[in-house]
Each structure stands twice: as structure tokens, then as C-alpha cells.
Amino acid sequence: MNFIEMLQQAEKLNNSMLCVGLDPEPSRFPGSWRGDASRIYDFCSAIVDATKDLVIAFKPQIAYFAAQRAEDQLERLMAHIKRVAPNVPVILDAKRGDIGSTAEQYAREAFERYQADAVTLSPFMGFDSIEPYLRYPDKGAILLCRTSNAGGSDLQNQRLADIPGQPLLYEHLAQLAQTAWNRNGQLGLVVGATFPAEIERVRELAPDLPLLIPGVGAQGGDARATVHAGWRGQAGRTTGPIIVNSSRAVLYASAGEDFAAAARAVALRTRDELNQARQA
């Protein structure tokens, strides 16, 4: 299966729109593991084991591993997810953005070294920074579109005077991802949960694309507003799933030895909250 098919299968199998982000901070690990970077794999694999039947995807953030010289643990973790949750796609959150042979190497890193099913990318160097990833036809490429950070508006919310209709930059990017750039049906978009109006606008412009929506949980995004803005379940409106990410709220639900059970409880509650929003 390709990435889109894996998403659709995981959504149905686990009845879920929830993605658990794997952002390991050793200083927040429980008990005797606290501060011990050699326990990154142990911590993350325990979270995976506790939540694997509740999620549409897992999303490890590569910087949290690289900063601790734990890339080998990331490789082990990716292999572990493939083994215990083969129907759940893994999105490598790397936000790469370069061209030519460098982009080719980044694509190899994501898809060959780490065996990711999809990778997040910064598209602001244009299509030739995206194209090397599309040479892997079964993989996904999820482009930053309308992010929820305070500085996102510096560029993403600016109007493009030379394009008919003068769209905002993020609107133009959504249109490109839905049409000209999406040559093999591999693209998705990142839209922050703290901007539900923009999620709705992106969904209007890109009805078929998966939307990766970070920011629910510790970052303050509203689960119900997110689902109402991005999910379209009625026949004929859209086939693009939403992937609603929560990281810290799940990972650090408890600082005790019950951390995995607590993570499961928060993931279950969040999954159910997202599902209830579909009925509202």
C-alpha cells in the first residue's frame, strides 16, 4: 500500500484521526530514566505499544533524536513500529527544504534509512525541492502550509499580487499541492490547529489531500473546532483524511512508572473527543 492507502486503512481500523507525536525529552522521562538519553527508544517504544490501536499515525520528530545523538535509537524505533503496528503509517517530522542532490540525500535518509512512510517538508524553495521525494511513489510528502507559530503570518499570510485573484501565500501553496505539484497523488499539507478558519480554507482549496494538524492538546488547539474545519465525511465532498497530532499531552501524561498507561488514557480520550466531534 502507498501512504494514502495506509492512512485510510488505519483511520478505519483504529477508528481514529489521532496522531501521536514522538518528541522525546529525557529531562521529562519517568523515574530512574529521567535525564538518560539512552532510554529514548525504551520510552518511545512503550508509548507506541500503549497507543498503537488508537492512532491513525505516529510522528517522530527527528530533531529530538539527533540532538541526543540518538539516530540509532530512531532507526530501532521505526523498525519497532513497523513490527508491532504494521498498519499504522509513520510520518518523519523533519521539515526538510533543499534542492538538487541535497534533497535527494534527504529523501534517502527519510525513506531508505528510516523507512518512513511520509516526511514533512518546507516547500518555500519551490517544486524542485519537493520533486526528489516524489520519486518514491509509495511514500508521502506533507508540505508546511499554514503553521500555528506566531511568525507564520510573516510569509504565509501575505498576498501574492502577481497571481490572479491575489491569493495569500498559503492559499496558493494549497492550490499547487492539490493540482500541479501533486503528480503522483502523494502530497499532504500541514495546517495548525490554532487556526480553524485557515484549516477550513485549506480544505476548500485542497479537498482531496491529507491534512496534518498539529497543536491539539498542550498547544491549545480545540479538537472540536479542528474536526469541524478539516474533516468532511459526506460522500462527494472530500476523501482527504485529517491527521490530528498530539505530542506532549500524551507523552508526558504522567511522570511516574504508569506513564504508558497514562499516555494510553489521554490518547483514548483524545481519539474519542475527535470522533465525537464528527457527530456534532
Cell digits for 42? Answer: 525504551
Per DSSP, the three-state class of 207 is: coil
Per DSSP, the three-state class of 162 is: coil
Q: What percent of the chain has pLDDT over 70?
A: 96
Q: What is the DSSP letter of 237?
A: T
pLDDT at residue number 237? 44
Distance CA 180, CA 203 (A): 17
State mean pLDDT over 102-129: 97
Distance CA 25, CA 21 (A): 12
- Give residue-wise pLDDT tens across range 203-261: 999 999 999 999 776 556 687 888 888 888 754 445 689 999 999 999 999 999 999 99
CATH class of 3-279: alpha beta
The alpha carbon torsion through 115, 119, 123, 126 (nearest 10 deg) reads 30
pLDDT band at 91 (very low <50, low <70, confident <90, very high): very high
Q: Which residue has the higher pLDDT, 278 or 133?
A: 133
CB burial class (10 A; 0-12, 13-18, 19+) of residue 80?
middle
The structure's pTM equals 0.94
Q: Which of 12, 59, 82, 95 is catalytic?
A: 95
For cell 526528489, name the residue.
132
- Give residue-wise pLDDT tens across range 152-164: 887 888 888 888 9
State mean pLDDT over 80-108: 97
The question of whether 95 is a catalytic residue gets the answer yes
Q: What is the DSSP letter of 145?
A: E
Which residues, including other chains, have CB under 8 Å from residue 77's CB and lie 6 or more apart? 22, 40, 41, 44, 45, 48, 60
